[in-house]
Amino acid sequence: MDSIVIEDIPSNSQQILEERDWHCSSVDEAAAAPLNQQAQPKTGAKTAFGVGYIMNLMSFDVDAIESARDIVLVAVAVPTEVMIATGFLYTLIGWSAISGLVAMVFTLALPAYFSHKMVSIQQNAMKYTDKRISKVSEYLNAIRVIKYFGWEEAVAHVIQKIRKLEQREIYKRNLCAIAVVWSGDFIPLFSLFIMFTTYVLGTGQPLRPDTAFTCLAVVETLRQQFIWVSNVSGFVSQAAVSLQRLDRFFQGMVPVTKVVDDTPSFKHASFIRCPDSGSQFCLQGLHFSFLPGRLNVVTGPTGSGKTTLLLSLLGETILVSGRVKCDSNAAYVSQTPWLQSGTIRDNIVFHSNFDRTRYEAAVEACGLVSDFHGFPKGDLTEIAEQGSSLSGGQRLRVVLARAIYSSASTLLLDDIFSCLDVHTVNHIFNKVFRNRFLGKRTVILVSHLSPVIDAADLLVHLEHGRVISVDVRDPLFKSVNGAPVTTPESLAKPLSGQMERDVQFLEESRKTTKRSEHMLDGRIPRTLFLKYMSHFGGLPYTILALFTAFLTQITFLSIPLWLSQWTGAYAKTNVVDVSFYLGIYACVLLGFNLMVVINNLVFQHGNWKAAHDLHARLTSAVLNSPIKWFDYVPTGMILNRFSQDIQSLDSILLNWLRMSLDNQLRLLLRISSIASILPIFALPAVILCMIGFVVGEIYTRSQISIKRLTSATRSPIFSHFSETLIGLPTIRAQKGVKEIFGLILADHLRDNSRAYEALYNSNRWVSVRADAVAASISAAAGIIAIMKSDTISPGLVGFSLTNAIGLSQTILTMVRNMNELEVELNSFQRVAEFTSLPSEEASVVERSTRAIQSPPAGWPSRGEVEFSNFSASYGPNGPDVLKGISLRIRPGERIGVVGRTGSSKSTLALSILRFTHKTSGFLFIDGIDAQSLPLKDLRRAVTIIPQDSTIFSGDLRSNLDPFGKMEDTELNSILRSCSIIGANESDNKRIVPGNSSEEEEVSSSSADLDLGDTRISLPCKQPLSLSTPVAIGGSNFSKGERQTLCLARAVCRRSKIIIVDEATSSVDSRTDAMIQNVLRTEFIGSTVLTIAHRLETVIDYDRILVMSAGEIVELDTPRNLLDRRGLFWNMVKESGKMNEMIALAK
C-alpha cells in the first residue's frame, strides 16, 4: 500500500504539470512569448533575452522546476516520519534520543548553508550557460561565413572560453551539492552516535542488540529521508533560480507598439530600435501618409532608417511619441530573406489554402519557373534551414512570391532588387509593379533603383532617420504633408482571390516543415558507462574511481558489523570496555563520511574532465563538419546536443552513475554478508533477485525507447523556435500566421509531453514491482533469521536483519538508478555520435587524388588563379553546376562576374574555397593545386566578402581580428578608412576616434525620449570604435553598415586573392562607389573577383566574365564585350544606362 500510494504522488504531480503544459506551461509561454503580438522585449532586452537565454528557459529551467516538484511530498512526508521516528527512539532509549535529535537540529544549518550557497552559484552558472548557447546558436546560423574565413578554430576558442567559465561555476555548484549529500549521510549517523554515547555513558546501561539495531534501523530510515531532502534541496535551489529567470523573462516583456488598422501612415511619430544597445538609432518626426493601392517607394542613403521605417509600421520598434497606422494584414519581405526548412511550395503557400492559379501566377511573376525546372523535384524540392541550399536571388524571389501569393492587403518590401540581375529585375518590375498585377494592394517598397524611383506614385526620401521629402506623383491624389490621404473605395480593396487560413491544413504543412531526428536503435550496452568513465582520465583514473566506490561501501557495511561486535560483547562478558567500542565506532563513522567525501570528489573531478573533453570534441566536430551536413541537420537538433545533453553530462549522468555503482556494490556486499551468516538465505535471494532482474529488463527495454523518443520530440521544439525567432516580423505581420505558428508549437509540445508522460508512467510501473520484490526479500530474511536465532548470536542476527531490511531499499534504488543511468547514458551516446562526425577536411582527403600538404611560407605571393577544364557539383551524386570552366586570372587582375540569377556565379567563386565537389579538371592558385592544400590554409589565404553581411555579437575588434594578431593602431586605421563610406555631411554621422590631429569633429544630434517615468537624451548615432558593442546578428547596425564592416574585416586579412560576392547589393550607388574606391586603394596588387548584378560596379574592371547555366559564355574587357554586342551588351542595354556604361568601360 505504501508503494502504491507514494509512487502515485509523483505520477499525479506529473499529470498536473502535463495539463498545465496544454494551457500555459513555462515551456509554451517562454517559446510563445516572442510570437505574441502583444509582447516584445523591453528596452535593451534583445541583448538580455537572446536565443541562448530562451533556449535555456525552455530546456534547463523548465526541467529544473519540474524536478523540484517533490518538495510538496517532502514537506509532508519528512516531518511526519521524523516525528514517528522520534517516538520510536524515545521509547527505546529515553532522553538519549532527545540529545541526538538536538544535535540533528543544530547540524541542519550545514545543508541549509550549502543549499543557499548553491542558489547564487547557480545564477552565475546559468549566465554563462545562456551566453554559451547563444554563441553556439549564433555561430550555427552563420556557419557558412565561419567556414568562408577558416574561423572554426577561433570560434571554437570563443565557445570553449565561455565553457571554461561555465564549468568553473558548475564545479562550485557540484561541490556544494556534494556537501549537501554528505550532510544527509553525516547528520543522522552523527545523531545516532550522540544517542549511543549518552545512552551508554549517561545512563550506564548496556547496548543490547535489540536496542542498537532497532535504533540503527530507525536512524537508517531517517538517513534515507535526509538523503532525499538533500537531493530535493539541490533541485529546489536550481528551481528557485529558474523561477527567477522565468519571472525576469516574463516581466521583461512589454506591449509592443499598437498599430491602428488603417491606411499606412505616421503622425508626428518617433521610433527607436533598442535604446540600451551601444549603437542607437532613431527615426524622428515622421508625419505623412502612404497612398493606398499604389506603389510607394522609400529611398535614401545607407543607414538612413529605411528598414526601421518598415519595421515601425509593423510595430516591431518602440514608439517614443506620435501615432502609427498600418493594415493588420500585411506581408513583409526583409532584406535578408527568411525561409523555413521544407519544400519551396510550402514556403510560398505559407500555411494558406493552395490555389493553383494564384500560385502559378505568383511563381511566374517572380521568374521562378525556369529555376524550378533546374531543381530535382521542382517546387517540391526540400530546402535547408534559412534556404541555405538556394542562391541569394532564388531565396529572395521565393519570399517575394510568398508575399504576392498571400492575402495581405499591404506589401512591405525591403530592397527586394538588391541581389537580382538586370534581366530578372526588369522581369519582376514589369510583371508585378507596372501592369497592375497586384490590383489595389498597397505596396511600400524600399529601393535605390532609378527606374523604381521614377515609377513611384509616392516617393519618401530619408536621411539620418528624418524625412527629407515626400513627393506625391499620382495626379488622382491630393495630399498635404501630414494630412491623411483619401482614396476611392474601389482602390482600397486587395487583390481578388483572398484566402483565409484554415487550421485543417496544419497537420499537412507540419509534415513537410521539419525533418525528424534520427533515433538510435537498440539498447545501450551495459558497459557503456565504462566508456564514459574512460573520459575521466583513462584506465588508471577509472580504476581509482571504482576503488573509492568499493571502499565507501566497505566502510558503510562496517558500521552495522562493528555494532554487532559491540552488542555481542555483552553476551560474552559482564565487563565491556565501552570507550574502546565507542571509539572504534566513532572511527568507523568518521571513515565512512571521509570516504563519502573522497568518492564524491574523485567522481566529480573525473566527470568535470569528461564533460570538458566531450564538449570540446563536440564543438570541434560540429564546426568542422562539411557544409552540406548543416543543410540536412536542423539547428534545433544540434542545439539540443549543446544544451540538454551537455546538461546531463555536467551533473545528472554523474549522480546516476555514482548511485548505481554504490547500490550495486552495496547489494553485493549485503547479500554476501547475509549469506555468510545465514547460508539458506541464498536460495530465496537468488529467486527474488531473478524476478527483480526480469522486471528491470522489461522496464529498461521500454524506458530506453521512450527516453529516445522524448529527446527526438524535443529537437523539433528548438528547431521550430529558432526558425520562428528569426522570422518574427514576417510571421507577426501577416494576419492569422502567428496563430498557426502557435498551434505548430503546441503540437510539438504535445508530442513531447506525451513521451514524457509515458516516461513517468513506466517509472511508476517498475517502482511498484521493485518494492514488492524488495519487501519479499526482507520478509524472507526476517523469517530465516527468526528460525536460526537459537544457533546464531543476537548481534549477528541483528546485523543480518539490518542488512535484510536495507536490502529491500538497496534493490529498489538500484533498479531505479541503473535504469535511469541507462536512460541518461543516451545523452552521452548522442554526444559521442556527434563527436565522431566526419570532418570536412577528412572528406576532402578521402576523395583527393593528391597528398595534402601545407603550402610554402608566404603563399600565395602573386594571386594567380587558374581553372583548367574544371567541373564541379554540390555533392558526390549531384549534377555538374560548373561545366568545363577554363579560366586564367592574372596576378593583380580585377575580374567582374555577371550573369542571370542562378547561373552559378557564386558557385564559381566558392569553388576556389573548395565548397563544391570537384568532378573533373584542376584549380591552381599560384601554381599549386587547391585540392592538395589543407582547408584551413586555403581559406585563410583567400578572402571573401559574402553577400550575407554577417557580423557577430561582441565588439568590433573581435569581428575584425578574431585571432587577436593585429595592433589596435592598424585596426583603427582600417576601421576609419571603411567607416567613412557611410558617413555623410550631416550632424548625425558616425566617426572613428583616432589621433586628435586626424579626428574629425562631428556633432551628434539627440532626441529626448519619454519612456514611461524615465526621460533620457538619446544620441541617434554613436562613434564607432574597436570597443563598440555588436548585438546578436549585428541588429544594432543597418545592413549597409554591416556590409561596410565586412569590408573592413576583409581589409584586415590582407589577402592576395579577394572575392566580392554581391557585397554592394544592399547599399546605394554612392556607397557602392565608395566601397569600390576602398577596394582599389586597400587591395592594390591583389587579385579581385567581383560578382555583381549592378553592372556599374564592374564596368571599369580589367575583364568581365559572363556566365550562364554554369558555363562561361563571354570573357573579355568591358569595351570589347560592348563592341561585340553579345549577352553583356544586352544586359547593359536592359539596365537603361548604356551611355554611362560606355563612358566608364575600359
For the chain, the C-alpha Rg in angstroms (whole number) is 36
Confidence band, pLDDT 50/70/90 cuts, at residue 26 = very low
Residue 139 has pLDDT above 80, yes or no: yes
Mean pLDDT across 638-659: 88
Q: What is the dihedral of CA 901, 904, 908, 909, to 10 degrees?
A: 30
Mean pLDDT across 377-392: 78
Per-residue burial over 813-835, b if 16 or more Cβ lie within 10 Å, else e, is bbbbbbbbbbbbbbbbbbbbebb
Confidence band, pLDDT 50/70/90 cuts, at residue 477 = low
Mean pLDDT across 725-750: 86
3-state helix, strand, coil in the chain (%, to 5): 60, 10, 25
Lowest-confidence region among 375-379, 441-445, 579-583, 923-927: 375-379
Residue-wise pLDDT tens digits, 536-552: 988 999 999 999 999 99
| Residue 322 Ramachandran class (φ > 0 left, ψ -120 to 50 alpha, else beta) | left
Pairwise CA distance, residues 298 & 312, whole Å: 14
Residue-wise pLDDT tens digits, 241-260: 888 888 888 877 766 677 88
Closest among 1141, 606, 1110 to 902, alpha carbons compared: 1110
Pairwise CA distance, residues 66 & 239, whole Å: 8
Does residue 120 or residue 508 have the better pLDDT?
Answer: 120
Mean pLDDT across 145-172: 91
Which pLDDT belongs to residue 14? 46
Residue 870 has pLDDT above 90, yes or no: yes
Confidence band, pLDDT 50/70/90 cuts, at residue 584 = very high
Residue-wise pLDDT tens digits, 181-191: 888 788 888 88
Lowest-confidence region among 193-202, 217-226, 514-523: 514-523
Residue 277 has pLDDT above 50, yes or no: no
Residue-wise pLDDT tens digits, 600-617: 999 999 999 999 999 999
Residue 166 has pLDDT above 90, yes or no: yes
| 962 close to 951: Cβ distance less than 8 angstroms | no
Does residue 661 or residue 1032 have the better pLDDT?
Answer: 661
Residue-wise pLDDT tens digits, 631-641: 778 887 888 88
Confidence band, pLDDT 50/70/90 cuts, at residue 4 = low
The pLDDT > 90 percentage for the chain reads: 17
Which pLDDT belongs to residue 609? 93
Pairwise CA distance, residues 563 & 210, whole Å: 11
Which pLDDT belongs to residue 971? 85
Which pLDDT belongs to residue 738? 85
Residue 172 has pLDDT above 70, yes or no: yes
Burial class (CB in 10 A: 0-12, 13-18, 19+), 397: buried
Which pLDDT belongs to residue 2? 54
Mean pLDDT across 519-533: 74
Residue 69 has pLDDT above 60, yes or no: yes
Residue 19 has pLDDT above 70, yes or no: no
Residue 1022 has pLDDT above 70, yes or no: no
Does residue 982 or residue 1116 have the better pLDDT?
Answer: 1116
Which pLDDT belongs to residue 476? 58
Residue-wise pLDDT tens digits, 419-472: 787 788 888 888 888 877 888 889 999 988 888 888 889 999 998 888 998 988
- Which residues are CB-neighbours of 214 under 8 A, at least 6 positions away? 88, 92
Lowest-confidence region among 884-893, 908-917, 941-950, 970-979: 970-979
Q: Are strands 1057-1061 and 942-945 parallel, antiparallel or unpaired?
A: parallel
Mean pLDDT across 911-925: 90
Average predicted confidence (pLDDT) for the chain:
79
Residue 785 has pLDDT above 60, yes or no: yes
- Which range, 416-425, 728-737, 922-931, has the best average confidence (pLDDT)? 922-931
Residue with cell 520478509: 779
Pairwise CA distance, residues 1033 & 140, whole Å: 12
Residue 47 has pLDDT above 70, yes or no: no
Which pLDDT belongs to residue 17? 44
Which domains does the chain show, CATH number per domain? 47-255 (1.20.1560.10), 503-837 (1.20.1560.10), 963-1022 (no CATH)
Which pLDDT belongs to residue 215? 84
Lowest-confidence region among 349-353, 509-513, 813-817: 509-513
Lowest-confidence region among 70-84, 888-902, 982-996: 982-996
Residue 867 has pLDDT above 60, yes or no: yes
Confidence band, pLDDT 50/70/90 cuts, at residue 761 = confident
Does residue 70 or residue 135 have the better pLDDT?
Answer: 135
Which pLDDT belongs to residue 1117? 92
C-alpha cell read off for 1000: 574629425
Residue 1016 has pLDDT above 50, yes or no: no
Which pLDDT belongs to residue 420? 80
For the chain, report the end-to-end CA distance as a whole number of angstroms.
94
User: What is the reported pTM?
Assistant: 0.76
- Which range, 287-291, 727-731, 1006-1010, has the best average confidence (pLDDT)? 287-291
Mean pLDDT across 376-398: 80
Confidence band, pLDDT 50/70/90 cuts, at residue 845 = low
Does residue 995 or residue 35 have the better pLDDT?
Answer: 35
C-alpha cell read off for 77: 512526508
Other Cβ atoms closer than 10 A to 91 = 10
